[in-house]
Amino acid sequence: MHRIGLLRRLALAVAGTTALAIPVALAPSASAATPVTWHVRVGAESPDMAVSAMAFLPKEVWVDAGDTVHWTSGSAEPHTVTFLAPGTSLPPLNPFDPTQVTRQGGTTEDGTAYTNSGIMATQPIFTFTDPATSYDLTFPTTGSFTYYCLVHGEMMSGTVHVRAAGTPYPYTQQDYDRVGTAQAQADLAAGRDAWRASKQAHATTGHSVEVGIDGDGFSVMRFVRDHVVVHVGDTVSFTTMGEAPHTVTFGQEPPIPALFGPSGDPAHYAGGDLNSGLLAPGVPFSVTFTATGTFHYICAIHDGMGMVGDVLVEP
């Protein structure tokens, strides 16, 4: 396929960017005499970890049979690199299923079996104390192989296109790096814009808190309006609208697996332990405060990334 056409296809993956600054050659790159290792980043994040890019960077690569793809974790937000077995569908995330959260399969991918990196992240997060930071697979046969992040499902997929050994490469690694960087910058910028807009929209809404923000290619790992002032007897509603998993947890975190279910009495909260469990999109977790004080809360999944807040209750 013509190189210019391929570059345009990669450019389409970077919505909102106006100049990718990728040099376009008039002829394909030379083929390699020996197998090549290609590099793909798994997610990206802002320096404060508030915004995550939910993407494989870049989303598509073109390699030759015998080449290897090396994935490197780019964020504290956990991801997987998962190739499904033929005839199977993408499962919902089950953090207690070892086939989802630990490495599965061998070191090659030919489209005939399930292979999975297990949880990848740049630092321990939630219950994953030793996440993988990189993952390698060699592709011995031709074809197009689609893979997913099991944590984020359909919103985060990628494809490895494998051609016959000796086929000239349409891109260089530098091309992929430029496209991946542009895509990450666009996703993070979109997340920051969404966060800013949500803050403005909720600036005067004293009794509601938006829990995270999900968009096309990004997630904001913050409570919007993370400091709320109310009075005794008032109710604060915490709501998430996206697919990223979050909790609202006051006091001591319940042990696993109790953390995933609700505990405590949100209708009469005067302090102590209270947990929403995993929030369902669009279903508010409402807490009525019956005592004065400052009550700190966290998302038990993303508190290590800075997802914390407090409610000041006045008389």
Residue 169, pLDDT score: 97
Q: Which residues contact 69 (CB under 8 A, 6 or more apart)?
A: 37, 38, 39, 40, 61, 63, 136, 137, 139, 160
Contact 45, 78 (CB under 8 A): no
Residue 2, pLDDT score: 35
Residue 20, pLDDT score: 36
Residue 144, pLDDT score: 98
Residue 93, pLDDT score: 87
**Burial class of residue 204 (count of CB atoms within 10 Å of its CB; 0-12, 13-18, 19+):** exposed
Residue 205, pLDDT score: 61
The predicted-structure confidence for 284-296, as pLDDT tens digits, reads as follows: 999 999 999 999 9
Q: Scanning the structure block, which residue is given the tokens 């499904």?
A: 84
Residue 4, pLDDT score: 33
pTM of the model: 0.84
289-298 burial, b if ≥16 CB within 10 A, otherwise e? beeeeebebb
Concatenated DSSP letters of 114-165: -EE---B-SS-BTTBSS-BSEEEEE--S-EEEEEEETTTEEEEEEEEEEE-T
The predicted-structure confidence for 21-62, as pLDDT tens digits, reads as follows: 333 333 456 666 799 999 999 999 999 999 999 999 999 999
Residue 143, pLDDT score: 98
Residue 96, pLDDT score: 86
Residue 128, pLDDT score: 72
pLDDT by 10s per residue, the chain, length 315: 333 333 334 434 433 333 333 333 334 566 667 999 999 999 999 999 999 999 999 999 999 999 999 999 999 999 999 999 999 999 988 888 999 999 999 999 999 999 999 999 999 877 677 899 999 999 999 999 999 999 998 889 999 999 999 999 999 999 999 999 999 999 999 999 999 999 888 766 668 999 999 999 999 999 998 999 999 999 999 999 887 889 999 999 998 888 889 999 999 999 999 999 999 999 999 999 999 999 999 999 999 999 999 999 999
